[in-house]
Amino acid sequence: MIGEVEEEFRDSVAHISAEGKRVWFFPKKPKGYFYNLRSYLSWVYLTVFFTLPFIKFHGAPLFMLNVIDRIYILFGVRFWPQDFFIFVLGMLIFVVFIILFTVIFGRVFCGWVCPQTIFMEMVFRKIEYGLEGDRKAQMALRTQPWNSKTLTRRILKIILFFAVSFAIANTFLMYIIGSDAVWNIATEPVSHHVGGFLAIVIFSLVFFFIYYWFREQVCLIVCPYGRMQGVMLDKNSIAVTYDHVRGEPRTKHIKKTADQPHGDCVDCLECIRVCPTGIDIRNGLQLECVNCTACMDACDTVMEKTHREKGLIRYASENSVLTKTKLKLNRRIVAYSLVLLALISVEAFLLITRSELEVNSVRTRNTLFTVEPDGKIGNLYNIKLINKTSNEMNIEFRIEGKHASFDWIGHQNKLQSGEMKNGELFIYVPVDELPSQRNDVKLEIYSNGELKATENLVLLAPNKLNRP
């Protein structure tokens, strides 16, 4: 509750007891409109997460972030270390987007998109509800003595949690090294893939540790995004908010009585019971709130039962609760939007103008030209080519409007995917096609008949008096 009530809740955190021990939470299973919506969305996310590594485009994965071999593929387009700046800019845009989004919509990302929340609340928590029952049953299970029933449930839970962690670990690895490589690890002798096998084991154990034991502490202790909320949110940011104007003074009386001042909160504590991070949203915006909406559903159910208007806990900003006004554009939102727009424009420009074949050319030092026996004039260039596609290229050089011939010394014209060739290129042009001493020409580089890149060069030639 903001402003009026004691603020002792700020002196402690819900997940650590007065003795300094971990407090285990047993959130009640949420039910309601938002939980259903989040469940449906989670099925979409999970389907995408588990199927994406198997989708291929022109023989290459649609997505791959292979930091080991430095292979980065996004939407089927392969990025090379030379494109790293595009990649970094993409990441920067993502961060700015998250900040901007947070300024306006608070931690909506945490509740609706974050993989940690999706897996914890929509996969592992549901397994738990299925095996151990709802909040009360889980709490009873914790305290009751071990017997064959509790032991069986615990073992089953460990097996299921590890199986899902194993599936996540394998899929996660597929995003790094590709589904084919993970398949090879799974089907070939361990001795052939010791590193890959260890990676799967370690990832599986880490995920198991997170979801079986560490759980909400990822959001409360580890996640930097949660820690940054204080600087990103303002009084106009939308978040899961308790309407203290309407709710206070809270009273346990279910029915309104005219002789006693009362708000709409019936102090049933349902919003706390469903909270996966164990907080009381009525204390106002808190770092621990991951905007999961469980308390909104719980409170709406209570409001319905007590014939009150729904939305006592709802998506709202602090200001909108106080003044009943809607979200307003403020200077920070405008500034972030402009920065975001500028970054997206630059990124789009870089992606559109990104060449599949990177070319660097420079005239070989201390050379002029050669006069060949057949009357052609030769110019020597140092040229570097990088094939940025996933396919082999058959390189062919041409000079626009001239009968030129080429000798790429020591190199064949084939360029494998990702291959870089650096060498000397002799360019021969008939003397009568070089009208002056300095001739601006356009070097065109084709692969399989398709123009892939152009370079502006200057070809030197003898002056008219010294021509053969």
State the residues that interact with ligand SF4 by CB under 6 A: 240, 242, 247, 265-271, 274-277, 279, 281-282, 289-295, 298-299, 302, 312-313
Contact 277, 225 (CB under 8 A): no
Q: Which two tokens stand for residue 202?
A: 């370690």
| Rounded distance between C-alpha atoms, residue 378 and residue 355, angstroms | 28
d(CA 63, CA 175) in angstroms, rounded, equals 7
Determine the Cα–Cα distance for residues 391 and 387; give it in Å rounded to an integer: 8
Would you say 425 and 402 are in contact if contact means Cβ atoms under 8 Å apart?
A: no
**425 touches 408 (CB < 8 A):** yes
Which pair of tokens denotes residue 309? 């208007």
Which CB sits closer to ligand SF4, 168 or 279?
A: 279
Q: 103 vs 120, which CB is nearer to ligand SF4?
A: 120
Question: Least distance (Å) from ligand SF4 to the CB of residue 296?
Answer: 7
What is the largest distance, in Å, between two alpha-carbon atoms of the chain? 115
Beta strands in 75-182 (DSSP E): 77-79
Give the chain's end-to-end CA distance (angstroms, integer): 95
Residue 317: CB minimum distance to ligand SF4, A:
15
Give the closest residue to 434 by CA, choosing from 361, 351, 371: 371
Closest alpha carbon to 369 in 467, 463, 464, 462: 462
Minimal distance, residue 385 CB to ligand SF4, in Å: 54
User: On the CB side of 59, how many CA atoms lie within 13 Å of its CA?
Assistant: 5
Rounded CA-CA distance 316/313 in Å is 9
Number of Cβ atoms within 10 Å of the Cβ of 188: 12
Nearer to ligand SF4, 298 or 386 (CB): 298
Rounded Cα distance, 90 and 84, in Å: 10
DSSP state letter for 413: S
Cα 404 → chain centroid: 49
